[in-house]
Amino acid sequence: MIRQQTDAVVVGAGIVGLAHAYALAKRGHRVTVIERHPFASSASVRNFGMVWPIGQPLGPMRNLALQSRDLWLEVCQDAGMWFEACGSLHVAYHEDELQVLNEFAASAGEDVGVVLSPEAALQRAPQLRQEGLLGGLWSPHELCVDPRTAVAEIASYLTTKFDVDFRFGDSALVVDQGEVVTDSARISARAIVVCPGAGVSGVYGPLLVKNGMVQVRLQMLRATPQEASYRIGTHLCAGLTSLHYQSFRDCPTLPHLRARLEADHAPLLENGVHVLVSQHADGSVTIGDSHHYGPHHMPYSSEAVDDMILGYLDTFLPTDKLAITQRWEGVYGKHPTEPYLVLKPEPNVFVVGAIGGAGMTLSFGVGEKTVVEQILPALEKI
């Protein structure tokens, strides 16, 4: 068995582990990242690639999301990765949906978002269904990255630029007294950061569950547009999304909108369906999603749920121009009340998880905050 010594070990090469590795390595610390798979293949490659500050409640969480966005830009530009500063548009086809967007924009201020007329919304997103469009909340702050390539590119960037040592295909089995024991090595480190994602078994999975993390399973689809020139223009979503994100929680009309959507779309709400759409450099369009809460054991997707997602999509983005080419599931870990968890089961061991459906958005901000506020002070005491 190999024996190694380093400053910090990060377990998990998903986006949360990579963000912590980045924050440590750019400050000159020697970092080893352990990933059990030959490449990260969980939530961090299964998402929309939306860096989505508009979904965070105003105040500290939005500020953290904006800081994270800036760090994404820093990494994408330095690593030469594809990204698009595409913004986002929440579209309204009912008066109560528009009312919620107007209330949100009035209280948040125009730095956060502005409500556009139907004509202006169509200029941003020319593929939208025109009939019945009442307007949309435009926010310029959202980014699009490609989840199919981003984590692998970031790992490669961290290796080249900061000499981070990646051990792919190696599982962390035990963390004990400043040492990580893997399938093939014993690595001692001054700080150990465990970012295991949504797994409920394995190193510190049970601890996250004990502290409230639940698994959430999502269904996703990818489409190829029938015309090569087809561009959606920006991240898109519609009325159901206002129920899903905390940012709209204080809008006075939200309870009315919820009651109407519960009456009109009961099966969708029962399956946690709200529809988001992103588009990547190859033109492919990522569409989702549903939310099923609780332990995830069975690998079977539901065609009925995919039909619900596509049916709702068609109310604002005509689906006859899109051919579905891929379907998949993803699972993330979420806490019922906290935006994410940082646990300290042993001195200088930090377990970061339950970052929920905003893990791409928040990752770099959480990595920076945890490293600066908790990990570096702990390292300095040694």
Among residues 8, 9, 10, 13, the one that binds ligand FAD under rule CB under 6 A: 13
Among residues 44, 99, 241, 253, the one that binds ligand FAD under rule CB under 6 A: 44
User: In 146-184, at which residue ranges do the beta strands (DSSP E only) sit?
Assistant: 165-168, 172-176, 179-182
Tell me the DSSP string of 238-307: -TTHHHHSGGGTT-TTHHHHHHHHHHH-HHHHHTT---EEEE-TTS-EEEE---EES--------HHHHH
Question: CB neighbours (10 Å) of residue 294?
Answer: 9
Which span (42-50, 92-100, 105-113, 262-270) binds ligand FAD, by CB under 6 A?
42-50
Residue count of the chain, please give it.
382
Question: With contact defined as beta carbons under 8 Å apart, do 219 and 36 qualify?
Answer: no
Alpha-carbon distance 120 to 135, whole Å?
Answer: 8
Minimum Å distance from CB 69 to ligand FAD? Answer: 10
Which residues, 311 to 370, sit near ligand FAD by CB under 6 A? Answer: 330-332, 355-361
Report residue 30: phi and psi, to 5°.
Answer: -80, 125
* Binding-site size, ligand FAD (CB under 6 A): 44
Among residues 23, 50, 209, 236, the one that binds ligand FAD under rule CB under 6 A: 50
Question: Between helices 15-25 and 150-162, what is the axis angle to 10°?
Answer: 20
Our CB check for ligand FAD shows the closer of 135 and 178 to be 178
Minimum Å distance from CB 41 to ligand FAD? Answer: 6
Among residues 9, 26, 31, 42, the one that binds ligand FAD under rule CB under 6 A: 42
Site string for ligand FAD, 168-207 (x = CB under 6 A): ---xx----------------------xxxxx--xx----
Which residues, 216 to 245, sit near ligand FAD by CB under 6 A? Answer: 218, 220
Which residues, 134 to 173, sit near ligand FAD by CB under 6 A? Answer: 171-172
Our CB check for ligand FAD shows the closer of 12 and 178 to be 12
Nearest residue relative to ligand FAD (C-beta): 359
Our CB check for ligand FAD shows the closer of 196 and 239 to be 196
Minimum Å distance from CB 37 to ligand FAD? Answer: 5
Enumerate residues 6+ apart whose C-beta is below 8 A from 17: 10, 11, 33, 35, 193, 195
Alpha-carbon distance 317 to 209, whole Å?
Answer: 38
Question: With contact defined as beta carbons under 8 Å apart, do 5 and 294 qualify?
Answer: no
Question: With contact defined as beta carbons under 8 Å apart, do 183 and 286 qualify?
Answer: no
Among residues 16, 125, 236, 238, the one that binds ligand FAD under rule CB under 6 A: 16
Query: Is residue 14 a contact residue for ligand FAD (CB under 6 A)?
Result: yes
Our CB check for ligand FAD shows the closer of 178 and 357 to be 357
Site string for ligand FAD, 22-41 (x = CB under 6 A): ------------xxxx--x-
**Which element (helix H / strand E) includes 154?**
helix 150-162
Encode burial over 209-226: b for 16+ CB neighbours within 10 A, e otherwise. beeebbbbbbbbbbbebe
Minimum Å distance from CB 253 to ligand FAD? Answer: 26
Question: CB neighbours (10 Å) of residue 278?
Answer: 27
Q: Which residues bind ligand FAD (CB under 6 A)?
A: 11-17, 34-37, 40, 42-44, 46-50, 52, 171-172, 195-199, 202-203, 218, 220, 288-289, 330-332, 355-361
